[in-house]
Amino acid sequence: MKLFVDDERMPPGVTECFNTSDWEIARSADDAIERLTPPVAVPVTLLSLDHDLGEPSATNNGAAVAAWLEAAVIVNGMVPPKILQVHSGNPVGVANILSAFQSIARFCALNGMEVPEIRRIQPPLTKM
């Protein structure tokens, strides 16, 4: 499963609120973390994060999801998604998310785990 975390945009190729693609959509950090927390029925293979998720908050943003994932991998031994992607237009948020993603990749490389691919893409234009 692919997990798209964004409070207002739709994943690439999805134009309706009814999701018929292989993307799942999380509109908040808590929703994203819940979907990532093991055990999940279908593991997340691609995680795409926006930084700004609604009202500005220290905990409801993409960097908080990335930090949670970083701790879940490094401290709890969770296997990360194969692809870690950021699609935010917020440059500071992008830097914070990429920093956590790079930490995850370094940890995986040092511990003989599959190293996730890290991507930076432009935010999709499709809004709800």
Percent helix, strand, coil in the chain (nearest 5)? 30, 20, 50
- DSSP letter at 73 equals H
Domain boundaries, the chain: 2-120
The CATH number fitting domain 2-120, selected from 2.60.40, 1.10.760, 3.40.50, 3.40.190? 3.40.50
CB within 8 Å of 59: residues ≥ 6 apart: 29
Tokens of 16: 């309706």
Q: What is the pLDDT of residue 97?
A: 97
- pTM recorded for the entire structure: 0.91
> Mind listing the pLDDT tens digit for each residue in 12-37?
776 665 555 688 999 999 999 999 99
* Torsion 59-64-46-79 (CA) sign: negative
> Is there a cis peptide before residue 123, judged by omega within 30 degrees of 0?
no
- What pLDDT digit, counting tens, does each position of 31-89 carry? 999 999 988 767 899 999 999 998 878 899 999 999 999 999 999 999 999 999 999 99
